[in-house]
A and B are shown apart, each in its own frame.
Chain A
Amino acid sequence: MDISSLFPFGWSHYLVGGLIIGLGVALLFVFTGLVGGMSSVYSSTWSYLVKRPFFQQAKFTQSRAWRLVYAAGLIVGALVWWLAFSDGTAQHTGVPAWQLAVGGFIAGYGARLGNGCTSGHGICGLSSLSLPSLGAVLTFMATAFLTANLFAWVQA
């Protein structure tokens, strides 16, 4: 089998990008001991506004500040890429807004119910050699494959 057929847009930028992501998560852990999944910020930030006991749990109120800084860092890093490595035109997606919003809602709800997303279970959980995280990754990969292909089939 021709390996390049698996990567029609090349492969090195994927690997290099992944290594840089890992460097960020590793740096965070070695310096601060923090585990840097991304979906928690969506719950912890609500703790500033919503006084219900769920959002006022210590795990959210004590982490909300650094999680917001972490999220700000995401934007800064992406901005650096945009200004220095892209052609400088604003990125745009052809995926319809309703699909982004509805998919986002379900993904946000699910990630928080399941305590993690592609970074929390995927990168951090697998690197912790956590079996529940491996189970979560296999589960969301399976439902994501099914959903994306079902959508493509319905829209075709």
Chain B
Amino acid sequence: MKAAHYLVVLIAGALFGFGLSYSTMVRPEVVLGFLKFQDWGLMLVMGGAVAVTVLAYQFAPRLMRAPLLGGRFDTKAIPWNRDTAVGAALFGVGWGIAGVCPGPAIAGLGTGNWDLLWALGGMALGALVQGWRAKA
């Protein structure tokens, strides 16, 4: 990848991080409030994000021969199998306990919320153990 790629990746990440902060998704209390049916904001965040992303994912590969910086459009097909089901169920349990998911655990640090290092550390360790147990 060239420097231009990394610049776009950085800007895309920054938009993501700004959006997570602006929508208060970096605050575990807000996420837990959603999960306890007190505030439906998270639905608007996810709905808004999907509304934009679905346009890019559905139209770009049909209207463009290649991404603007070259290469090809990635298609990431995830099968529905036992790992996906069990993994998603476990992810939800952890998310419901902490109120933090992988993006906000990183982005939250940019808002000076060092408490989230506990969640970040936990996630990194969880990913390590998952990979350690998995077959390559």
Most chain B CB inside 10 Å of its own CB: which residue of A76, A105, A113: A113
Q: What B residues does A101 contact at CB under 8 A?
A: 98, 118-119, 121-122
Q: What B residues does A146 contact at CB under 8 A?
A: 92, 96
The bracket for how many chain A residues form the interface is 35 or more
CA distance A122 to B28 in the complex (A): 18
B28 & A100 in contact (Cβ 8 Å cutoff): yes
B35 & A149 in contact (Cβ 8 Å cutoff): yes
Give the number of residue pairs across the A-B interface with Cβ within 8 Å: 532
Dominant secondary structure of chain A at its interface with chain B: helix
CA distance A45 to B123 in the complex (A): 12
Given A20-B15, A22-B52: A114 and B84 interface contact (C-beta under 8 Å): yes
Q: What are 28 A-to-B residue pairs whose CB atoms are below 8 Å?
A: A6-B40, A7-B41, A17-B45, A20-B15, A21-B48, A32-B1, A42-B126, A54-B136, A66-B5, A73-B10, A73-B11, A77-B107, A81-B22, A82-B21, A93-B116, A95-B29, A99-B98, A101-B98, A103-B119, A105-B123, A105-B126, A107-B122, A108-B124, A112-B127, A119-B102, A122-B49, A135-B85, A136-B87
A85 & B22 in contact (Cβ 8 Å cutoff): yes
A151 & B96 in contact (Cβ 8 Å cutoff): yes
Residue A109 contacts which of B32, B40, B51, B129 (CB distance < 8 angstroms)? B129
Given A71-B13, A111-B102, A144-B93: A22 and B49 interface contact (C-beta under 8 Å): yes
Task: Please give the distance in Å from A149's CB to the nearest CB on chain B.
Answer: 6
A contacts, CB < 8 Å to B: 6-9, 11, 13-39, 41-43, 45-46, 50, 52-57, 65-66, 69-82, 85-86, 89-95, 97-119, 121-133, 135-137, 139-152
Q: What B residues does A121 contact at CB under 8 A?
A: 78, 88
Q: Which of B22-72 contact A (CB under 8 A)?
A: 22-30, 32, 35-42, 44-58, 60, 64, 66-69, 71-72
Measured CB to CB, the nearest residue on chain B to A43 is: B127
A140 & B95 in contact (Cβ 8 Å cutoff): yes
CA distance A57 to B136 in the complex (A): 7
